[in-house]
Structure 1
Amino acid sequence: MITLMQPTSVQAADNQTYTQQFQNSITTLSGKSVEANMYFTKMDYWDLKKVTFNFNYQVSQLANRQASDITVSLNGVKFYSFRPKDKTGFQTEKITVPLDLVSGSNRLTISGQILDQMPDKNYQLQQTPANWLTIGNGSNVNFEYQLKEAENTLSSFYAHFSGQDTIAYQRSKIATADNPTAKELTASMIALSGESRIITTENDQIPVVKVSELAAAKNDYMMVVAKYDHLPDDLKKQIDPNQLKDKAIIKTHYTDGKYYLIVTAKSGKLLEKAARFVANEELMKETDKDTEDVEETTDTYTSSLHDNGTHYLTTTADRIEGAGHKETSYLVQIPNDRSNADGSQITLHFNYSKNLNFNRSLVTLYVNNTVIGSKKLTAVRANNDTLTVKLPRGLSLGSSFTVRAAFDLEMKDQDTSDNSNTPWAQVRPDSKMLVKSQRSNDLLFTNYPTLFINNETYDDIAVVAPKNLNTDDFKTLTNIFNLIGNFAKSNTGKIQFYESMPSKNVLKNNNVIVIGTPQNNPMIKELNPNLYFKYSQNFDRVVSNEKLSIEKDYGKNIGTAQLMRSPYNDKRGMMVVTGINTKDVYLASTQINFQKNIQQFTGDAVVVDMNNAHYGYRFKKNKAIDKSLENKRTFSKNSQLILYLGLALIVIILIGVGVILTVRKQGRLNGGSKNDRKQ
């Protein structure tokens, strides 16, 4: 039975600060009139006291400081304008943001005009390459706030536990048994993956630790995932064991400023089911009570949207205003385990004002920085215009890319200022992109971890880990599943841990991850002949190969991460993270924990030494996971060329046959003529 309680309050902390960095890289905006958008979020449990926007920027050295100006808007409301300071290089403007304009999700807009001359006459200013504004990657928003009182509910715990500041300050932790079973490891990694997928920063993760190493402090939020018999005594007291006969329990427990979420069951199967519940963001946000029962029949799977490749660019009409070059951009994401294929198409529906100089006004579509197509604006189509373009063949985009609609809105009689509400253009919500995609087939780190993902969830992952895990082993698992969870958008896939070498059937039909040393994981020794970086006969060091000469002592202190073709199924991949010591194994995993780290490597092997120097190598010549699939795709990709070559061959054959027949006929005619002369 579910216990219902009135939410209880917990004493909030004192004033705190948190700085949220914008994810934008350094961006340059060109033109007299410039505009850019940046986004930030506010946690619901913050009681804001002050918000400061630190705008890091640089303007053209030729910009006229008296004529140029910059305006800042939040969620469409303008609140601050200033002129650039009279100095060169990057400068920072500290701007206090009105608290009443701040919501949960926020769009910060930078707009203005960068002019290189004083507009003292009533004429249209000439745009030059010297009209530019560069936004630095040091721009951020700083929050000063108090924590709102935490309610004793799953939803309130989840909000704090997954909050950006809680994770950044390492106050969120997941704990499991000191000597976890395979099912407990599976459950804790499912819980970690569920949290990793909603972490927005690129440097933060939630560690998974032994329950004895939890070291709880005030304002810490701890999720304990373990069987009932493995719970600490103080947490056992919070659970009635009689309620665990045929269900798992998820329960909050707050004490002395420390916040616990107990996820427990008597069976491993139900514990995994409960872990899928806490890995479901929607369910956790909806549970406004302190205890949740999870049974075998409980629906825990995350919802999924089947869009058949159609991605709408915006849900509401997106309006841009002002003369000159104006842009609006849209992020398009396809499943992480897929990449675009030939045949994708963008359809832009839009309308615009009629007071334009239609001889000079047009719209241009970009995908990332590639121009896809343009169209001239006309008065006849102003109320309902459409631009449909197909993406060029062979254009590689990855699983996330930006579609930009750039409008050049030129007026007939433009005055000195171009920041008025006219002219305008509007992208309609029926604008869409049809993305043809295919699953990536590369067995390289450029395709990791997506080769272990299918339909945005775990693709039958079997993890062979040491039977007795130490602190380094837990840190290694945290790194591996932090990145996998970041890519897995659903909790429906399968993860299974093994303490010893699995059966041949499991190895054949699963994507296998092996971690450990030759001493604590026997499968490392079994795989040694297949490794790119092999161990010596005594398994006391890593030995040299054709890519790297390794001094004998150096080989005792390096860790490796290797993406191999599975020896048990040549159509599946296998990743081995190994080293002589568990510390070396952990060091190897530090290069496969965040996207920014894994993007450094384009091969199939990574070496990390004790000084944290890391190197990437490629060994396999054929990078395809499924070689037959690669051949089919190559044939399909070049089908048109093959058709043309086939037609050309037929023409050549016909010409050849024609020449032969002509020669033979001519020979007969010549032979007949000779006979006639003889007679």
Structure 2
Amino acid sequence: MNTKSTVSGILCLILFFITCGQVFALPDSSGRLTYEAPITTSNVSLSGVTASSSMYIRLEDYWNVNSLTLHLDYQATQLAAKEHSSVTLKMNGTGFYSFRPVVDKKQMNLTVPVPKELLVQGNNTLSINGYIVTDLPDGVCVPTEKRDSWLELYKTSYAEINYAKQAIGNSIHSFYQQFVGTDTLKGKMSALAVPNRSDSSELEAAVYALSGLAKGNRSEDATIPMLTLEDADLAERSQLVIVSLFKNLPDKWKTALGQPDVHDKALIRMVNAGSQSALIVTSDDPLMLKKAGRFVGNVSLVSQVDGPEKWIDQNTNVETPAINVSRDVTLTETGDKLTGMMHQEKSYFVSLPANRSIAESSKISLNFRYSDNLDFDRSLVTILINDTPIGSKKLTKELSNQDELTLTIPKNLGSTGSITVTAAFDLELKSAGCIELQDQMPWAYITKDSLLQLNTKDRTDMLFNSYPNPFLRDASFNQIAVLVPDKMDSYDYLTVGSLFHLLGKYAEANTGQVTFYKNQELPADSKMQHYNLISVGSFKDNPWLQKHNNKLFFQYSQDGERFVSNEKMSIEENYGKRIGTLQLMESPYNQGYGWLAVTGPSSKTSFLASNLLSSDSMKWKVYGDGVVTDVDGNTKAFRFKKEVQQEGSGLVEQITERGDVLAFIVALALTFILVVVSLIFLIRKYRKKAGEE
């Protein structure tokens, strides 16, 4: 073997691991792996004399963790009193390391091993508690809260996890765990595969399955690609989900399955072939294949299958439970305690469909109690929704054992989708500057009676600001028709995968309908009136797009080679050939229905545009109703439709969404009917007496 080429190959391999986001290291001699998990996605500021913040480090259930080491990048205020300031680290509530922050003008680095016995499978809570002192006025008193007391933890901080993987075994449940695991996704080791010339049923079943897999993906940037079974990249993936009619499966996977009878049933089976593990979803019946896709899209059901296979027939129930979008939400099941003086917070995440917003008459009722040694002239509680304060209340000694704050949530918050509710307590002490912090430590306790009465409504504006509206309704696919080229290439499949990865992540239910149409399969216009449309592909590859080119915000030239300038953007001829666009418009068939055009002069530029709607980390770049992106990563968003007022919900709709109002109206109606009936009987009674007389 050529020594020079061998060295070159090793260098290339090392370079590969360095450039892949610096996430993985090579396995050591014992076969163990190293994963670098970010601690926070943004800088964390600890402001004030006493401040704390919590972050989460997830350890996958299939990891056998050998060690976890924290690499913290921080900077402390230059005014900090070095011998009196300190920072304490806790893992899952147990302190394990304290240090005095180094005071310098530059970023400092700290490496700290975490005791293994403090770690648990799943989410681990890392708490950072700062006590930053900038002066000691009389040598014995603790200084009061000051703005020059701060410590900044940078987002470059990370946890280095050394672990070994458990064997996947022979279980669909364990396969699913590892398929959507953070290390698997970051390492680009998993993929969804379909036949090279997939028919509509295979594509439909594939996106149903992809939606469930995407919901298990906890990463904000890593995605699960949709590849064809002939794609060369597939050989590099160690874990596959294959969705295909049995006749279209490659011989390699048919052999692994044997000869199953799938003419009127669907089979979901885990198989191994060489270094690859695959979950194969197959049937001879297109309807059964789509039903099996919905089964994989139901995370709860997939997580319950301990065996290597699952058969789907006419009697198999695969649907998720109905989603109640207006409901009462309990903030805490057991109650939560906050301990410490000054500012203390507790946040609660409330899941909502991405296309729903808070409607009128939504309320929050916070029940709590607190210590009676506070300075009640300065202590209060504040409630925030998505970091926006909606109301406060002063704490009093008389109500310290049982207090309550009820607020109506403003309808002009502008929040869409899931929300974060924060209860912020300012627990001030009298003479706080001259006491030991450990003495008479103030506390507050949020009881399990705290409740969020949530009424929501659908967003109706056709803008990327409220995407995925209109393609989801009540957390389910909303009658989507996907118009694809007759001959799809690898970029077209990647585009479809990108779009439904994010849509699937938002879709909590698997009951919605997605239908794929190629140009020669398009139904009559009367049927298309009932669909929200997604068109994929270039002008030349998609005849349907050619027909509706004049309705695009960014239109093609007559030869379809490039985009032309419009009232919002001047486009140079060559530049118009290498950009991709996202355009959100009303359906050409029916008002109130949407049309998303994901298109570029080539399938590659279309895929470039679809990446903007593939993950939460990219979606923030998209707003308005027309977006342009190029190969250099430049993205521009525009608004073409005129601004209109959001339509308020009608009186009947408001009444039906308010259970208390509806009950009152029913009771009032029954009372009215009872009064009328009583009057009728009285009139008849006295008429009868009058007649007898």
TM-score, normalized by the shorter chain, greater than 0.5: yes
Post-superposition CA distance 1:431-463 (Å, at most 9, x none): 122233221111111122232111111111110
2:145 counterpart (127, 135, 148) = 127
Corresponding residue for 1:300?
A: 318
- The answer to whether structure 1 residue 456 and structure 2 residue 489 are counterparts is no
Query: What amino acid does structure 2 have at the position aligned with 1:604?
Result: D
Q: 1:161 aligns with which of 171, 179, 197?
A: 179
2: CA distance, partners of 1:215 / 1:543: 35
Alpha-carbon distance in 1 for matches of 2:281, 2:644: 42
Shift of residue 142, structure 1, vs aligned partner: 2.0
Match of 1:83 among 86, 100, 122: 100
Match runs of 1:381-460 below 5 Å: 381-412=399-430, 414=432, 415-419=434-438, 422-460=441-479
SS at match of 1:158: helix
Q: Give 1:198's aligned residue.
A: 216
Match of 1:269 in 2: 287
Amino acid in structure 2 at the alignment position of 1:259: S
- Matched residues in 2 for 1:118 and 1:413: separation? 15
Distance 1:46 1:559 in 2: 40
Assess if the C-alpha contact under 8 Å between 1:219 and 1:259 holds in 2: no
The whole-number CA distance in structure 2 between the counterparts of 1:99 and 1:40 is: 14
Q: 1:19 to 1:150 in 2, by over 3 A?
A: same
CA-atom RMSD in angstroms: 2.4
Change (3 A) 1:421 1:239: farther
Deviation for aligned residue 1:38: 0.9
Show the counterpart of 1:557.
578
Q: Residue 482 of structure 1 contacts residue 594 of structure 1 at CA under 8 Å; is this kept in 2?
A: yes
- Is 1:589 aligned with 2:606? no
Residue in 2 that maps onto 1:674: none
Measure how far apart 1:240 and its partner are: 4.7
- Name structure 2 gaps, 5 residues minimum: 1-28, 655-693
Equivalent residue letter for 1:235: W
Equivalence for 2:58: 41
Q: Is the CA contact 1:560–1:585 (under 8 Å) kept in the aligned structure 2?
A: yes
What does residue 16 of structure 1 align with?
33
In structure 2, do the counterparts of structure 1 residues 80 and 450 end up closer, same or farther at CA, with 3 Å as the change threshold?
farther
8 Å Cα contact 2:76-2:103 kept in structure 1: no
Q: How does 1:137-216 map to 2 (within 5 A)?
A: 137-213=155-231, 215-216=233-234
Secondary structure at the counterpart of residue 588 of structure 1: helix
Aligned in 2, Cα 1:466/1:17: closer, same or farther, shift over 3 Å?
same
CA apart distance, 1:465: 0.4
Distance 1:535 1:58, change over 3 A: same
Q: Which amino acid aligns with 2:68?
A: V
Letter in 2 for 1:95: V
**TM-score when normalising by structure 2:** 0.85
Look up the match of 1:472: 491
What is residue 545 of structure 1 aligned with on the other side?
A: 566
Q: Do the aligned partners of 2:190 and 2:224 also contact (CA within 8 Å) in 1? A: yes
Per the TM alignment, residue 416 of structure 1 is displaced from its structure 2 partner at its CA by 4.4
Change (3 A) 1:432 1:132: farther
Give the drift of 1:222: 0.7
CA deviations on 1:606-639 (whole Å, 9 max, x unpaired) are: 1223444322222111467xx8x46969x99xxx
Q: Specify the alignment match of 2:664 in structure 1.
A: none
Secondary structure class of the residue paired with 1:422:
coil
Partner of 1:647 in structure 2?
none
Determine the C-alpha separation between the residues in 2 that align with 1:570 and 1:308.
27
* TM-superposed deviation, 1:419: 4.7
User: Structure 1 residue 55 and structure 2 residue 55: aligned?
Assistant: no
Where structure 1 has 5 or more consecutive residues not aligned to the other structure, the ranges are: 1-11, 637-679
In the alignment, is the contact (CA less than 8 A) between 1:39 and 1:108 conserved in 2?
A: yes
The 5 A counterparts of 1:186-265 are 186-213=204-231, 215-216=233-234, 220-265=238-283
| CA apart distance, 1:316 | 2.1
Name the amino acid aligned to 1:461: I
Indicate the SS of the match to 1:229. Answer: helix
AA of the residue aligned to 1:28: S
Q: What's the TM-score once normalised by structure 1's chain length?
A: 0.86
Residue equivalent to 2:533: 512
Report the Cα distance in structure 2 between the residues aligned to 1:100 and 1:451, rounded to whole angstroms: 48
1:289 deviates by: 0.4
Deviations 1:113-153 (A, max 9, x none): 11112476443522221122333222322211011122111
Structure 2: which amino acid aligns with 1:344? S
Whole-Å Cα distance in 2 between the matches of residues 157 and 109 of structure 1? 32
Output the CA distance in 2 between the equivalents of 1:370 and 1:492.
34
Whole-angstrom CA distance in 1 between matches of 2:235 and 2:64: 22
2:47 corresponding residue in structure 1: 30
CA displacement at 1:53 relative to structure 2: 2.1
2:591 is matched with 570
Aligned-residue offset at 1:48: 0.5
Percentage of matched positions with identical amino acids: 35
Alignment partner of 2:111 out of 91, 94, 97: 94
More divergent stretch after superposition (271-280 vs 555-564): 555-564
- Note if 1:531 corresponds to 2:548: no
Amino acid at match of 2:116: L
Where does residue 387 of structure 2 map in the other structure?
369
1:342-357 equivalence runs, <5 A: 342-357=360-375
Residue from 89, 97, 101 that aligns with 1:72: 89
1:56 partner letter = D
Q: Is the 8 A contact 1:342 1:394 kept in 2?
A: no
Q: Which residue of 1 aligns with 2:620?
A: 599
Alpha-carbon distance in structure 1 between the residues aligned to 2:157 and 2:42? 10
* Aligned equivalents of 1:466, 1:515: Cα separation in 2: 7
Q: Secondary structure at the match of 1:237?
A: helix
Letter in 2 for 1:348: L
Bigger Rg, structure 1 or 2:
1
CA distance change for structure 1 residues 75 and 405 in 2, over 3 Å: closer, same or farther?
Answer: same
Deviation of 1:393 (Å)? 4.9
Distance in 1 between residues matched to 2:204 and 2:241, nearest whole Å: 15
Letter in 1 for 2:474: N
